[in-house]
């Protein structure tokens, strides 16, 4: 079996042992190791969750809304998110009365990832702030949603408790789901990507991602060491349990998504496209109020807290992520090896080529604040 073929397999879903090696320590000590055989196969309960037709652009320009917000005061966030949604024409074309809605924040790394320089908290540097998610839940419920779920493959349940998401669930009636587990179902499903996938034809996922009517991605505006930027599309890496996508026993992150070191540049961005085709994003919200430059978390040496003071929202993830990339002072159509895509092909270019949306600013209508009025130059991970 070829190395490439081995990397496209994944572990049996019944293997539930969690690694004791932290992501931070693994990245610091090892980097991506050479590929080893990945054994087993997923249960054959085959289903697809893709709805690409809803993601492809219509005849009019995609809209992305921008707001200036300087802190995480809940009332301030509530008003800002409400205004962004109004500027986008409301949620009535996204959320219908009686819908089940899943919202995925970015809770990368887990509570043992370390702290940002200066002791800045995770919520104000590398994870989606819970107050932003709470504000979106309020809008989703006002639009008539019957049920709201907060979904993430958390490194440990403490990510939900210590980072304020249990409080959000208690206050809003939302249900917390750990996508590392198949509950409330009997097993995981194998969700298909669709025709002409790049790397993976299917992914092991919790069936809740198929059963919800609406899926929303709420990310932190950040650079990423490999992918260049991480916004609402890259956020979908956390839809799948990492233990099914590792190269070596003991890896504590989705090392098979990266592949071997010589594969990462082309492989990782294409996996981003595959997973986004599997579970379409219906609404994107980006927390850039307080975040960090130079990498995705404190395990990256150049990681540094910054405060751009901005929120962005849109109904097409490619266009929303493109505008967020421009707000960071980067060119969303740049490609390897130009910054910020100094180690990987630009997944936004790949998404646009697949017809998932446009990343060309001239083809996007920005409402609210202009890109120029909120631009904050980020330094990429170096």
Domain residue ranges in the chain: 3-45+69-374
Chain segment 151-188, per-residue pLDDT in tens: 999 999 999 999 999 999 999 999 999 999 999 999 99
The count of other CB atoms within 10 Å of the CB of residue 17 is 8
pLDDT at 270: 98
Is pLDDT above 50 for 132? yes
What is the band of 228 on the pLDDT scale with cuts at 50, 70, 90? very high
**Burial environment of residue 252 by CB neighbours within 10 A (0 to 12, 13 to 18, 19 or more):** buried
pLDDT at 20: 36
Q: Who's near 58: CB < 8 A, 6+ residues apart?
A: none
Please state the rounded mean pLDDT for residues 29-34.
36
What is the band of 197 on the pLDDT scale with cuts at 50, 70, 90? very high
Helices marked H in the chain — which ranges? 3-7, 23-29, 74-87, 130-142, 158-162, 165-172, 208-211, 255-258, 264-278, 317-327, 347-353, 371-374
Residue 243 DSSP one-character state: G
- Rounded CA gap, 65 and 85, in Å? 8
Is pLDDT above 50 for 64? yes
Is pLDDT above 80 for 265? yes
pLDDT at 59: 64
- Rounded CA gap, 22 and 145, in Å? 37
pLDDT at 232: 98
Chain segment 303-338, per-residue pLDDT in tens: 999 999 999 999 999 999 999 999 999 999 999 999
What is the band of 56 on the pLDDT scale with cuts at 50, 70, 90? very low
Strands 46-48 vs 189-192: parallel, antiparallel or unpaired: parallel
Give the pTM.
0.87
Q: Got the DSSP string for 17-42?
A: PPP-S-HHHHHHHT-SPPP-------
What is the band of 114 on the pLDDT scale with cuts at 50, 70, 90? confident
pLDDT at 107: 98
Chain segment 330-382, per-residue pLDDT in tens: 999 999 999 999 999 999 999 999 999 999 999 999 999 999 999 999 999 99
Structure tokens that stand for 8 in this block: 């496209």
What is the band of 29 on the pLDDT scale with cuts at 50, 70, 90? very low
The mean pLDDT value of the chain amounts to 88
pLDDT at 49: 57
Is pLDDT above 70 for 44? no
């Amino acid at each position: 079996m070829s190395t490439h073929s081995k990397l496209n397999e994944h572990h049996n879903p019944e293997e539930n042992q969690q690694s004791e090696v932290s992501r931070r320590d693994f990245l610091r000590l090892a980097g991506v190791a050479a590929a080893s055989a990945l054994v087993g196969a997923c249960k054959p309960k085959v289903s697809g969750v893709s709805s690409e037709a809803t993601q492809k652009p219509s005849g009019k320009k995609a809209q992305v809304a921008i707001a200036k917000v300087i802190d995480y005061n809940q009332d301030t966030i509530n008003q800002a998110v409400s205004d962004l949604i109004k500027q986008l024409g409301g949620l009535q074309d996204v959320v219908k009365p009686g819908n089940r809605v899943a919202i995925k924040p970015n809770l990368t790394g887990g509570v043992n990832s370390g702290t940002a320089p200066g002791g800045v908290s995770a919520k104000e540097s590398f994870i989606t702030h819970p107050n932003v998610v709470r504000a979106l839940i309020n809008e989703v419920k006002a639009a008539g949603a019957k049920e709201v779920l907060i979904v993430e493959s958390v490194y440990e349940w403490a990510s939900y408790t210590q980072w304020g998401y249990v409080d959000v669930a208690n206050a809003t009636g939302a249900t917390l789901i750990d996508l590392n587990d198949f509950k409330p179902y009997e097993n995981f499903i194998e969700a298909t990507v669709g025709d002409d996938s790049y790397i993976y034809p299917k992914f092991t996922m919790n069936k809740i991602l198929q059963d919800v009517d609406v899926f929303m991605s709420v990310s932190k505006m950040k650079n990423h060491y490999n992918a260049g930027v991480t916004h609402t599309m890259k956020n979908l890496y956390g839809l799948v349990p990492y233990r099914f996508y590792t190269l070596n026993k003991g890896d504590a992150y989705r090392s098979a998504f990266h592949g071997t070191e010589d594969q990462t540049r082309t492989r990782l961005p294409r996996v981003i496209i595959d997973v986004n085709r599997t579970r379409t994003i219906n609404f994107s919200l980006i927390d850039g109020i307080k975040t960090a430059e130079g990498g995705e978390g404190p395990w990256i040496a150049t990681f540094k807290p910054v405060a751009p003071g901005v929120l962005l929202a849109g109904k097409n993830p490619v266009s929303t992520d493109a505008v967020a990339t421009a707000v960071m002072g980067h060119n969303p159509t740049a490609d390897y090896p130009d910054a910020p895509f100094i180690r990987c092909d630009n997944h936004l270019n790949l998404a646009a080529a697949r017809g998932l949306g446009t990343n060309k600013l001239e083809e996007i209508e920005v409402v609210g604040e202009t890109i120029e009025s909120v631009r904050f130059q980020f330094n990429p991970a170096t």
